[in-house]
Amino acid sequence: MKNFEYVRPATIPEAIAAAAQPGAAYLAAGTNLLDLMKGGVARPERLVDVTHLPELDRIERLPGGALRIGALVRNADLAHDRAFAAAYPAVAEALLSGASAQLRNAATVAGNLLQKTRCGYFYDIASACNRREPGAGCDAREGENRQHAVLGWSEACIATHPSDFCVPLVALDAVVEIEGRAGRREVPVEALHRLPGDAPAHENTLEPGDLIVALRLPAEAARFAAHARYLKVRERTSYAFAVVSAAAAIDIAGNTVRAARLALGGVAAKPWRARQAEALLVGVTPDAATFRAVAEAALAEARPSGDNAFKIELARRLVVRALTLAAAGTPARLPALPASPFASQPGALPHA
C-alpha cells in the first residue's frame, strides 16, 4: 500500500479545504476505499477522516414531512429505524439486501452512494481500464462481461454501478446535500452519477473537495409506502451484488394508479430511472398486461455490451415481478430474505 498523509479535521470547512488538494480522498468507514487501496487500485496521497465531524450522523424529520439523513448514518441503523422503514419500505429492503450484516453496521449512507464499480477489470491493476486509468482501454469489452451494462454504456466503459440503496432513492426523487468550496448545493441522486461516455473516470458530478453532508427524501416519497418493493436477482442470495434489480412504487386510489416510480440497478453505470415506462402506469388499472408493457418500455433502449443479452430479458421479468408485488401491497414485515424474488415468508423486522 502506498504511504499517505492522514488528516482528521474538526469542522466541515476544514475537511473541504483538506480534501480539495490533489490526491486527497475522504475516509468514513472505508469498507470500499480500503480494499481499493490494499489492491493498488486507489492510491491517495491524503486521507481526510470525516468520521468525527459533528451532526452528520442524525436522522431528522423536517417541517413539511421530508426526511434528512446525515452522511455518516450507518446503513444498518437507517434500515432498522422503524419510522424510516414504515415510510420508505423499498429503501429499507434495498439496504438490508446489500453486503453482510457486519458491513452494514459499518458502512455509511454517503459511502454507499459513492462506492466504486465491482468490475473485475477495474480491480485488476494488470488489466486495461479507462475508469481506473484514462486512455488505457477496456479489457471488459472482449473479456468476461456477463455482469456488465446493457443501458447507457459506451465503447470506453461497460461497468455497472453496484449500489442497491441508490436504486429506490432514484425512484423516489431523493436529493443529496453537498458542501464544497463554492458553498452548499443540492443534486438529485439521479444526477449524481455520470454515464461513461468518453470519460468514464469522471464517475459523478462532485468537484474536488465536495463533501456529501446529507441525503434527503421528499415528503411525497412516503405516499408510495403502501405499495413499494425492491427486488434483486443475484448469483447467490447472501451478500452478492445485483445481476439486475428493480425498485417499484405505486400510488393506487381504488383500482387506478395515480402515480408510479420505477428504477433499475445492475444495468448501467448509474441507477436507471425508467420515466417513460412509469408514465404507462398512470391512470390505468394495474394488471399483468400493463406490467409487461411497462417492462418492455423500461428496457427499450437496452443492448448487450458483451455476453450479457440475458440481462435484458431478466430485467424485464424482474420489473414485472416487482410491479406485481408492489401492486399487491407492501408486506407488514420485511421478507426473511430482503429483496429476494424467491422470498415468500415474512421476516422478523417490522415496518412499524
What are the boundaries of each domain within the chain? 59-114+161-220, 229-327
Picking from 142, 330, 189, 321, the residue whose alpha carbon sits closest to that of residue 244 is: 321
Q: How many CB atoms lie within 10 A of CB 68?
A: 17
Q: Is the dihedral of CA 202, 204, 206, 212 positive or negative?
A: negative
8 Å CB contact between 292 and 313: no
Q: What is the pLDDT of residues 59-73, one digit of tens each?
A: 999 999 999 999 999
pLDDT at residue 347 in the model = 47
Reported in sequence order, the residue ranges of 114-202 that DSSP labels E, i.e. its strands, are: 175-180, 183-188
Q: Is 123 left (phi over 0), alpha (psi -120 to 50) or beta?
A: alpha
Please state which CATH number belongs to domain 59-114+161-220: 3.30.465.10
Q: What is the reported pTM? A: 0.96
Instruction: For 337-349, write each residue's pLDDT tens digit.
Output: 899 988 865 544 4
Query: Is the predicted pLDDT of residue 1 greater than 80, yes or no?
Result: no
DSSP sequence for 89-102: HHHHHHHHTSS-HH
The single-letter DSSP state of residue 284 is: S
Q: What is the mean pLDDT of residues 109-114?
A: 97
Three cell numbers, residue 8: 482528521
| CATH architecture, domain defined by 229-327 | 2-Layer Sandwich (3.30)
Spatial separation of the C-alpha atoms in residues 311 and 144, rounded to whole Å:
14
Give SS3 for 25.
strand
What strands, in cross-sheet order, belong to the sheet with 211-217? 59-61, 67-70, 211-217, 175-180, 183-188
In which element (H, E) is residue 321 found? helix 310-328
Name the pLDDT band for 350 (thresholds 50, 70, 90).
very low
Mean pLDDT of 230-246: 92
Alpha carbon distance 122, 140 (integer Å): 9
Tell me how crowded residue 309 is: count the other CB atoms within 10 A of its CB. 14
Length of the chain: 352
Q: Where residue 147 falls among pLDDT bands split at 50, 70, 90?
A: very high
Strand order in the sheet with 24-27: 5-7, 46-49, 24-27
- For the residues 5-23, what does the mean pLDDT come to? 98
In this predicted structure, the answer to whether residue 24 has a pLDDT above a threshold of 80 is yes
* Stretch 233-244: mean pLDDT: 90
Q: What is the pLDDT of residues 158-186, one digit of tens each?
A: 999 999 999 999 999 999 999 999 999 99
Q: Do domains 59-114+161-220 and 229-327 have the same CATH topology?
A: no
Tell me what pLDDT residue 266 has: 98
Query: In the prediction, which pLDDT does 344 show?
Result: 66
Average pLDDT, the chain: 95
Tens digit of pLDDT for each residue in 290-327? 999 999 999 999 999 999 999 999 999 999 999 999 99
Report percent pLDDT > 90 for the chain.
Answer: 92
The pLDDT tens digits of the residues spanning 126-140 come to 999 999 999 999 999
The rounded distance, in Å, linking the Cα atoms of 182 and 117 is: 28
Rounded Cα gap, residues 346 and 332, in angstroms = 8
